Chain A
Amino acid sequence: MEPSRDDFVIAVRSAFLRKGNQQKFSLLSLILFSIIFLILGNYNFKIINFNKIVIKEIIYYSSFIVNLPENTIKKSFNKISDHFDHYDDYLITKNQLKELKDKDLEKKIIIFENVELKKLIDDYFVEDGQAFAKVLIDKESPFLRSIVINKGSRNGVKEGMAVYDDIYLVGKVVEVNFLTSRVLLISDINSKVPITVQPLNIQGIMSGLGQRSGQLQYINKEKINNDNDEKLIVVTSGVGGIFRSGIPIGEINSTDILLGKKLIVNYYKDFSQLKYVKISSHKKENINIDQSNKAIFKANNKQIAKMNSQSKDIKVLRQQKIINEEVQRKLQSDNTRLKKYLTDTQTKLIESNKKINAVQKKSEDLEFLELNLSYGHKCRKTMFRSHLFKVGTDEYRNCVLNRGPIKKN
């Protein structure tokens, strides 16, 4: 049922004019009031402006007061969080500084050692020849895993040269022609590569399995464990002088270690995807260290030893410092305790002295009284002996203690 026009008028009238239980103004009157406010606000009437200023002042102050607790909380919170941040920063910086100080010395030692070792390695292995070749044939034969490259004896390729893809070992040259060569891949079953398992530093021989993996042979399996969950990397050991040491080959399958199976090495490289390879050979060179080098090594070794000892000394000194601090703390506490004891003793002493003095005085008094009984009459001033002393005076007391007046010669 739709409301009639009369109903609408009644509802509107009621909405505008009806006052609630505690309302003093109807809505209509207030609306008219606000419209008047608005209209008069357009014209700069003095009374309106004055009212505006008064209302603004009241409201600004009210707003300020209402916001006081909130602002105080905000400020306090910001202050506290700032303090905490500063403290955290301070702790971090302190720790970092300590670590850096420690590391600085260690770093110096490592740098020196590194320089030494590098020198040694560079002197030991010298690159003999190097060439880049394109893979001509890499057809997988069921019997031989090998590739044919487009470099031969004309380019200086020799039998036994190591072949790399990027930094990884691929194989070695087994057949050299004038323009081409054949490379036996390390995945071939006939390939035997002397290897080292890092970081355990265990030596062994790796043989190919004809697939993307190899097998470790002649290796002490008992020593191989994976307690630290580190990857066991297989690199060339350099034994035999064909390959230089440290060329990465692959990783040991960790599940094989756990199950105690044959140790399988997963190669880093897929040998079926080879396009270009690097051929290089390394020869073992006798280390001819001349006298000047020897002197440098000696000096460096000395410096390393010195720094090592310094770092040890620093550690010892640090421990000593901690101990000293503890001792100092103990001594301070002892000192405080002793000071207190001394003060107490002094107080006691003073009290004892006072008591002794009192006792002495008492005994003197007693002696005086005793002597007074015996010799008092000899010292007391009377009508006939006016040269003597009045009772209670110091002279009388001295006279009694002296057991009579002092005779004058």
Chain B
Amino acid sequence: MSKHFLYKYTPVFLLFMSILNEIDFNLEFKYFSFNFVYILIFYYSLKREGGIGYILIFIAGLFNDVINGLPMGISSLSYLLLCVSAAYLRNITLRPSLIKDWISFLISILILNFITYTYLILFFNYEINYLYQTSNIIGTFLLYYIFSYIFKFYNDFVLGKYK
């Protein structure tokens, strides 16, 4: 298995595994949960142009909707909006900084969660546990920092920068 294959397809594999697997990465402790898929998509959309293909992200969103019983297309929309945000940030960034990425990630997830929840409440009469969602957003935001280091380490490791 070549380095580039691993480099290219590991995020795709992780994305689909985290969506299809029963033990997804949306861990639910009493006051702590986080959305791994958001972190994964944002990081790879930001760091690599077309890191995880948009089509694949779209399909992953559909998969997520089916598994979680959400209206079809809602997750795809939120994932793609996250990609838009990451692409925009990539376009305007001259000197990348993790802190800036981090803050942008927070703003992005706040906006897209707002859109998602609004849509779910207005059109589908969903009841949302705001405490859980808030803790999820905070957890996702906080763990982005750690995961970005892990992903960076993995990418460097796969590409053999540590040799």
| A interface residues with partner B (beta carbon < 8 Å) | 3, 7-8, 10-12, 14-16, 18-27, 30-31, 33-38, 41-42, 52, 55-56, 59-60, 62-63, 66-67, 70-71
Contact = CB atoms under 8 A, between A and B. Distances in A.
Nearest to A16: B84
Contacts of A27: 54, 80, 83-84, 87
B37 interface: no
A60 B73 CA distance: 17
Nearest to B74: A38
A23 B55 contact: yes
A30 B55 contact: yes
A37 B88 contact: no
Contacts of A24: 55
Interface stretch (B59-67, B98-106, B133-141, B145-153): B59-67
A35 B16 CA distance: 22
B101 to A, nearest CB: 15
B58 A62 contact: no
B71 interface: yes
A126 to B, nearest CB: 67
A216 to B, nearest CB: 62
A333 B73 CA distance: 76
B127 interface: no
B17 to A, nearest CB: 7
Nearest to B17: A66
B106 to A, nearest CB: 18
A117 to B, nearest CB: 60
B35 interface: no
B53 A23 contact: yes
B72 A37 contact: yes
27 contacts: A11-B92, A14-B87, A14-B88, A14-B91, A15-B87, A22-B53, A23-B50, A23-B55, A25-B55, A26-B54, A30-B57, A31-B84, A34-B76, A37-B62, A37-B72, A38-B72, A38-B77, A41-B72, A42-B71, A52-B72, A59-B66, A62-B20, A62-B63, A63-B67, A66-B16, A66-B17, A67-B21
Most A CB contacts (10 A, CB to CB) among B16, B53, B58 go to B58
A3 B74 CA distance: 32
B123 interface: yes
B87 A66 contact: no
A34 B77 contact: yes
Contacts of A23: 50, 53-55
A35 B80 CA distance: 11
B80 A30 contact: yes
Contact of B21 (A11, A33, A38, A70): A70
Given A18-B87, A59-B66, 13 more contacts: A14-B87, A15-B87, A19-B50, A27-B80, A30-B54, A31-B77, A37-B76, A55-B66, A59-B62, A66-B16, A66-B20, A66-B21, A70-B23
A41 B73 contact: yes
A3 B55 contact: no
A8 B87 CA distance: 12
A20 B50 contact: yes
B110 interface: no
Contacts of A15: 84-85, 87-88, 90-91
A62 B57 CA distance: 17
B5 to A, nearest CB: 14
B81 interface: yes
A10 B88 CA distance: 9
B20 A20 contact: no
A34 B84 contact: no
Contacts of A60: 66
